[in-house]
Amino acid sequence: MSQASYPADLLYHPEHDWARIAEEDPEHATLGITWYAQDQLGEVVFFEAPAVGATLTKDEPYTEVESVKAVSDVVAPLSGEIVEVNQAATENPGTINEDPYGEGWLVKVRLSDPAERETLLDAASYKATLAG
Amino acid sequence: MQREAARTIFQKGAPGRRAFVCPDMDVPALDVSELLPERFRRAQPPRLPEVSEPEIVRHYVGISKRNFDLDSGFYPLGSCTMKHNPRLHERVAALPGHARLHPLQDPERAQGALELMWNLQQALSEISGLPHVSLQPSAGSHGELAGVLLTRAYHEQRGEGGRVPNKVLTPDTAHGTNPATVTMAGFEVVKVATNADGGVDIDDLRAKADADVACLMLTNPNTLGLFDPNISEIAEIVHGVGATLYYDGANLNAVMGLSRPGDMGFDIVHFNLHKSFTQPHGGGGPGSGPIAVSERIAPFLPVPVVGRDEEGAFALEYERGRSIGRLRGFHGNYGCFVRSYAYICSLGGDGLKDASETAVLNANYLLARLKEHGVAEYLTLPYGELCMHEFVLSGGPMKRALEIKTLDLAKRLLDFGFHPPTVYFPLLVDEALMVEPTETETKETLDAFAAAIAAILREAAEDPEIARGAPYSTPVRRLDEVAAAKNPVLREALA
Amino acid sequence: MLATIGVGSLQEIFDRQIPEAVRLGRELELPDGLPEQDVYEHLRALASRNTSTEDELSFLGAGMYDHYVPALIDMLMERSEFLTPYTPYQPEISQGGLQVMFEYQTAISELTALPVSNASVYEGPSAVAAAGYLAKLHNGGKRFVVSAGLHPHTIETLRTNAHGYGMEVLEVPLLAGASGGVTDPDAWAEAIDGETSAAIFAQPNFYGAVEDAAALSAAAKASANPVVVAQVDPITLGVLAAPGECGVDVAVGEGQPLGNRLDFGGPSFGFFAAREEYMRRMPGRIAGETIDVDGRRGFVLTLQTREQHIRREKATSNICTSQALNALAGVVYLTWLGRRGIVELGELLLARTHYARERLAAIPGVEKLHEQPVIREFALRIDADVAAVRRRCAPQGVNPGVDVQALSGRPEDRGVLLVAITERRSRADIDRLVDVLGAAVAAETEASVPA
């Protein structure tokens, strides 16, 4: 994805991660890294998905994404338990660059504390942190 | 010839060819199965090549010609100190008395070697201004590991079994080995900011230096090539909280005979014999990373250390009650000691100082040439005015104005017959270019390099595509590093 | 030049940058510099006070061995193109060095029968410590279980490193008695549990015995899942089963026997090979194959994100400079030996080692320390003071081997001599050793009998 993009329907963490929580299913969230993160990394060459059942703690790293330039921690925007991982992204890590909010999602979690979503930023506020 | 497709030695040869002729089986030839149970034996031999000696020579001589090297041209890699490797050193290192000496030979019959090590210890002590030396670590980063482990031992002893401070401070300009070493030694890395002049931000240091800090790791001059004018104050702050001050010796070439880390207040210093002391880089080693320490750190030095008794006989000392132990087998890279010692003998104190002065002169001259019109607008100096033995320029303006990056400039320099400077380090500088000419280079070479840079910039102003597609004249052109990381192929596949 | 810089003198450059308080202000107290020929004479004089393997018949081993290094290796290592370049950060002009690394990795992979090798680490013992660090990053266990058959320097190095990153080291003894000399299989199995990060043994072990590597690996994985690490002697791998065939996960070792000089203990290189799953946790540099923009085959340093200079505090090691030139000697040596040579050499060592051990054990007052198969080195127990016996051999120009207790410091190693055989030690040399050692033991025994 060559143009910067920060969909309005997502919630953002200052460490460049996003969460999508569907209105009809507030107990679950899909997580990934933002356009800014994948742009900084360069082409992603390796992503090893964490295990289903693993626990995420908000603000703590839960996995890594590797490019030729760098290895980056991926920080959990919310706490919970992993219920699904994106196998396709491990097989074709370039998806994370091409479609970071769609096909490039990383994990789906069952939230342990849905109220944590209040601490996350909306698209405008997140974009403001990048401008600094 | 250079552009031929690469073929490894595994793709050459033919069944039955050989180079090695085995000495005769002059003892009773028993069946192998009588000497070694079958289940311990290898069923199929390793699939090593089957080639003759001429094939081996032609192959390796051939691929050597696909290497740029220091004997062939200018190699201004910042913080690497690519200075001339005198060939005398190869001659003396090859003397059988040095080269064919077993490490476990009895000390009485290795006095020449032990005396050499002792003399080297003394010389490094004088150069660093710290009294006690261990030659054991195998490279700079190994010396760093030793330094951080020594720090741990020092704090353990101070705290008498209580809590050991768990943080190590490193500046954000630090060499990549520093944070990696810190983690390996069980500490946490905390970054200290750099101020607008390129030195350690004293306020940030004060804020972060507390009882939880075990050590501050620095190099001086730093990776920006700048001597920190506040070094004495930094030492005071660090010692004030009971922490150790560690000196990364990568930039020692700037200060030999001019200023000594021990006098600056450092407790532990590592040397890179493959930098300031001319051990050849070998394409990535071997190196050697001896350390020098202050009196209070001395009890913890790794063993063995070379000592001398009252009669003047030398020996390896293993009994040091509070030593951290050993970091490797035997006593270190003696072959590197021989070469470095020969270098120090050749130059003497005067010569070492001369080397540093010339290194600094050359760097400042090259910097001045690159400040000239046609270059200065694109490659700016973010910190300082003068420099020590190296300097860092930013290619940020070049990227914006000419649409070529530091990477492209570096690749185009290859076509001009120069090895590029270090690129994208330190991380603090945008599109960084780190240049260290060393004292080896003549004014003519420096002028030619400056001219090449200017030419590439002029060319980019007309057509940036040229640099972006460089290099053109090398055995291979730009390589796909992404593919290599995505689908690593790390060995030849064999049938 | 000063005018271009814009200063009045060289001194000004320093006065403006180095605070007065830290200026040395005097000459370095070192001897004056010397012309090349004087330096040569000085270094030669120092060399003459060392007794090298050229000056005596040496059976010293214990980690480094007096093998024959063919002349073509000296020639290649002195070539400017291999001797003087830096680490290959600009691959376009470093294809020579990168291809050597790639070939070296291939050779080590073949030798160990493990798919992934790096481009070298410093040497043997620190390679084992690096394997321990890999295991810790991989499974975060609490301790390393190590066989007492590892070289004492390896165990010490591991302890020093492990203390830093907070792992325990638990030693498992060797068996004593009739089936002695190898790792106690019951103690080994019992020591390994869910908290074991790595299980580490040597092959052959420090006392020269060939271990049952497959059994040790299997036992380690029977009820737990540690990383199984073996420190192996590369020169034996034409004859001994390869670690990859014995269930070993990570094989490391001292590379000196492969084309490198003794050099009083260094520099040499350490090799490091592992199963595919550990690829991204390997320490040090790795070369990988790729193509350039024109489709030409080429090589680059790859997986660099594991290395200290990108990943920094998350690096798999802190290795920057490793041992590229020594690894070059290693791969050229393996190429020179070739597929048949490494087997022939191994079989020669096996036969001569056996011969030497049988003949020496027949000397009164000398016996085998153990009855295990040996391949290039073996331990004897001497019924006399080992140091004194060795001193009696020296004037005969014979160095019979290593005084083990002096190296290990273990009380149970009293009286133990470690004898190493290389292809340079002919049958005649071994016969001479038997004569000299026999006479020395006899003389020492007689001298220590009270009058």
User: For residue range C49-87, what is the model confidence (pLDDT) as tens digits?
Assistant: 999 999 999 999 999 999 999 999 999 999 999 999 999
**Whole-number pLDDT of residue B183:** 83
Query: What pairing do the DSSP bridges indicate for beta strands B213-218 and B167-171?
Result: parallel
Q: Is there a contact between A71 and C304 if contact means CB atoms under 8 Å apart?
A: no
Name all contacts of A124-132 with Cβ < 8 Å and 24+ positions apart: A125/A12, A126/A6, A126/A12, A126/A14, A126/A34, A127/A6, A129/A14, A130/A36
Q: Which of B315, B346, B377 is the last residue of a domain?
A: B346
- Residues of B whose CB is below 8 A from C50: 97-98, 101, 105, 109-113
As beta bridge partners, residue B41 has C240
Domain match, B292 and B371 both: no
C71-333 has the same fold as C57-66+339-447? no
Tokens linked to C306 = 């594991």
Q: Are B467 and B455 in contact (CB under 8 A)?
A: no
How would residue A2 be classed by pLDDT, with cut points 50, 70 and 90? Answer: confident
As beta bridge partners, residue A71 has A66
For residue C321, pLDDT over 80 is answered with no
Of B42, B257, B342, the CB nearest to C242: B42
Phi and psi at C407, nearest 5°, equal -85, -45
For residue C156, pLDDT over 50 is answered with yes
Q: Which CATH class is domain A11-131?
A: mainly beta
**Whole-number pLDDT of residue B242:** 93
For residue C82, give every residue at least 6 positions away whose Cβ sits within 8 Å of its Cβ, in sequence order, or none.
B64, B67, B69, B282, B283, C76, C96, C97, C100, C325, C328
Q: What is the mean pLDDT of chain C?
A: 94
**Which of B11, B30, B41, B48 is best to mutate for the C interface (most C CBs within 10 A)?**
B48
For residue B178, pLDDT over 80 is answered with no
Q: Find the domain containing B57 and state its range.
A: 9-64
In this predicted model, what pLDDT tens digit does every residue of A43-76 receive, in sequence order?
899 998 899 999 999 999 899 888 877 778 899 9
Q: What is the DSSP letter of A13?
A: E
B440 inside domain: yes
Q: What is the mean pLDDT of residues B370-392?
A: 94
Q: What is the mean pLDDT of residues B199-228?
A: 95
Residues B343, B81: Cα–Cα separation, whole Å: 15
Peptide bond into B304 cis (omega under 30): yes
**How many Cβ atoms sit within 10 Å of the Cβ of residue B32?**
15
For residue C437, pLDDT over 80 is answered with yes
Apex CA C110: angle with CA C108 and CA C114, to 5°? Answer: 80
Domain match, B230 and B95 both: yes
Q: Where are the alpha helices (DSSP H) in C61-209?
A: 71-78, 80-83, 95-112, 124-139, 152-165, 185-191
Q: What is the mean pLDDT of residues A106-125?
A: 93
For residue B201, give every residue at least 6 positions away whose Cβ sits within 8 Å of its Cβ, in sequence order, or none.
B192, B193, B194, B195
Strand order of the β-sheet with B167-171 is B132-134, B291-293, B268-270, B244-248, B213-218, B167-171, B188-192
B455 inside domain: yes
Q: How far apart are the first and last CA of chain A?
A: 23
**Whole-number pLDDT of residue B163:** 79
CA distance C324 to chain A (A): 23
Q: What is the CATH number of the domain that holds B306?
A: 3.40.640.10
Q: Is there a contact between B189 and C336 if contact means CB atoms under 8 Å apart?
A: no
For residue B6, pLDDT over 90 is answered with yes
B75 inside domain: no
Which amino acid, residue C5?
Answer: I
In this predicted model, what pLDDT tens digit does every residue of C167-184 receive, in sequence order?
999 999 999 987 899 999
Q: Does A46 touch chain C (CB under 8 A)?
A: yes
Percent above pLDDT 70 for chain B = 98
**Whole-number pLDDT of residue C284:** 87
Of B26, B32, B109, the CB nearest to C50: B109
**Whole-number pLDDT of residue B185:** 87
- Residues of A whose CB is below 8 A from C306: 71
In this predicted model, what pLDDT tens digit does every residue of C100-136 receive, in sequence order?
999 999 999 999 999 999 999 999 999 999 999 999 9
Dihedral in degrees, nearest 10, Cα atoms C76, C77, C80, C82: 90
Q: What is the mean pLDDT of residues C180-200?
A: 97
Q: Is there a contact between B333 and C266 if contact means CB atoms under 8 Å apart?
A: yes
In this predicted model, what pLDDT tens digit does every residue of B121-174 receive, in sequence order?
999 999 999 999 999 999 888 988 999 999 999 999 988 667 789 999 999 887
Tokens linked to C224 = 């737990």
Q: Are C307 and C319 in contact (CB under 8 A)?
A: yes
**Whole-number pLDDT of residue C99:** 97
Query: What pairing do the DSSP bridges indicate for beta strands B188-192 and B314-317?
Result: unpaired
Q: What is the mean pLDDT of residues C307-332?
A: 74
Residues C92, B488: Cα–Cα separation, whole Å: 18
Phi and psi at C209, nearest 5°, equal -80, 140
CATH number of C57-66+339-447: 3.90.1150.10
Domain match, B330 and B370 both: no
**Which of A68, A73, A74, A90 is best to mutate for the C interface (most C CBs within 10 A)?**
A68
Q: Where are the alpha helices (DSSP H) in A30-71?
A: 35-41
In this predicted model, what pLDDT tens digit does every residue of B37-77 receive, in sequence order?
999 999 999 999 999 999 999 999 999 999 999 999 999 99
Domain match, B331 and B398 both: no
Residues B351, B276: Cα–Cα separation, whole Å: 12
In this predicted model, what pLDDT tens digit does every residue of C8-45 receive, in sequence order?
999 999 999 999 999 999 999 999 999 999 999 999 99
Q: C313 versus B207: which is more confidently predicted?
A: B207
Phi and psi at B287, nearest 5°, equal -130, -170
* Structural domain spans, chain C: 2-38, 57-66+339-447, 71-333
CA distance A2 to chain C (A): 22
Tokens linked to C77 = 């290592």
Q: Is there a contact between B360 and C14 if contact means CB atoms under 8 Å apart?
A: yes
Q: Per residue, what are the HEC states of C423-442?
A: CCCCHHHHHHHHHHHHHHHH
Which CATH number does the domain C71-333 belong to among 3.40.50.9100, 3.40.640.10, 1.10.10.10, 3.30.1180.20?
Answer: 3.40.640.10
Residue identified by tokens 């001292």 is C254
Q: Are C170 and C147 in contact (CB under 8 A)?
A: no
Count of alpha carbons within 13 Å of B373, Cβ hemisphere only?
A: 0
Phi-psi region at B235: left, alpha or beta (left = phi > 0; alpha = psi -120 to 50) = alpha
Q: What is the mean pLDDT of residues B356-363?
A: 97
Classify B303 as helix, strand or coil: coil
Helices first, then strands: H and E counts in chain A: 4, 9
Q: What is the mean pLDDT of chain B?
A: 94
Q: What is the DSSP letter of C379?
A: E
In this predicted model, what pLDDT tens digit does every residue of B237-269 receive, in sequence order?
999 999 999 999 999 999 999 999 999 999 999
CA distance B51 to chain C (A): 7
How would residue B114 be classed by pLDDT, with cut points 50, 70 and 90? Answer: very high
C297: enclosing H helix or E strand: strand C297-301
User: What are the DSSP calls for B127-146, one per residue?
Assistant: HHT-SEEE---SSHHHHHHH
**Whole-number pLDDT of residue B323:** 94
In this predicted model, what pLDDT tens digit does every residue of B258-305 receive, in sequence order?
999 999 999 999 999 999 999 999 999 899 999 999 999 999 999 999
As beta bridge partners, residue B345 has none
User: Quick one: CA dihedral B372, B373, B375, B381, positive or negative?
Assistant: positive
For residue B319, pLDDT over 90 is answered with no
Peptide bond into A93 cis (omega under 30): no
Q: Does A122 touch chain C (CB under 8 A)?
A: no
Residues A37, A39: Cα–Cα separation, whole Å: 5
For residue C362, give every residue at least 6 positions away whose Cβ sits within 8 Å of its Cβ, in sequence order, or none.
none
B213 inside domain: yes
**Which of A45, A46, A65 is best to mutate for the B interface (most B CBs within 10 A)?**
A45
Which chains have at least 3 CB atom pairs separated by less than 8 Å from chain C?
A, B
Chain A's closest residue to B481, CA to CA, is A68
CA distance B155 to chain A (A): 30
Dihedral in degrees, nearest 10, Cα atoms C222, C226, C232, C238: 50
**Whole-number pLDDT of residue C206:** 98
Q: In angstroms, what is the C-alpha Rg of chain C?
A: 25
**Whole-number pLDDT of residue B1:** 46
Tokens linked to B273 = 């014999």
B1 inside domain: no
Chain A's closest residue to B483, CA to CA, is A45
**Whole-number pLDDT of residue C318:** 64
Residue identified by tokens 């080994």 is C188
B30 inside domain: yes
How would residue B184 be classed by pLDDT, with cut points 50, 70 and 90? Answer: confident
Residues B389, C9: Cα–Cα separation, whole Å: 16
**Whole-number pLDDT of residue C96:** 96
C351: enclosing H helix or E strand: helix C324-361
* Structural domain spans, chain A: 11-131
Which chains have at least 3 CB atom pairs separated by less than 8 Å from chain B?
A, C
Q: What is the mean pLDDT of residues C131-153?
A: 95
Q: What is the mean pLDDT of residues C359-370?
A: 97
For residue C309, pLDDT over 70 is answered with no
For residue B236, give every residue at least 6 positions away whose Cβ sits within 8 Å of its Cβ, in sequence order, or none.
B265
For residue B435, give every residue at least 6 positions away whose Cβ sits within 8 Å of its Cβ, in sequence order, or none.
B76, B78, B363, B366, B367, B370, B390, B391, B392, B393, B421, B422
Interhelix angle for C324-361 vs C427-447, to 10°?
A: 60
Split into its structural domains, chain B has a count of 3
Residues B278, B359: Cα–Cα separation, whole Å: 14
B384-408 residues labelled b (16+ CB within 10 A) or e (exposed): bebbbbbbbbbbbbbbeebebbbbb
Residues B393, B391: Cα–Cα separation, whole Å: 7
Q: What is the largest CA-CA distance in chain A?
A: 39
Tokens linked to C216 = 């040790």
Peptide bond into C267 cis (omega under 30): yes
Closest CA to B253 of B444, B89, B134, B76: B76
Apex CA B480: angle with CA B475 and CA B483, to 5°? Answer: 140
- Residues of C whose CB is below 8 A from B285: 87, 120, 267, 269, 321-326
Chain C residues with at least one Cβ partner in A under 8 Å = 280, 304-306, 310-311, 314
**Which of C7, C12, C30 is best to mutate for the B interface (most B CBs within 10 A)?**
C30
Residues C128, C284: Cα–Cα separation, whole Å: 13
Chain A's closest residue to C303, CA to CA, is A68
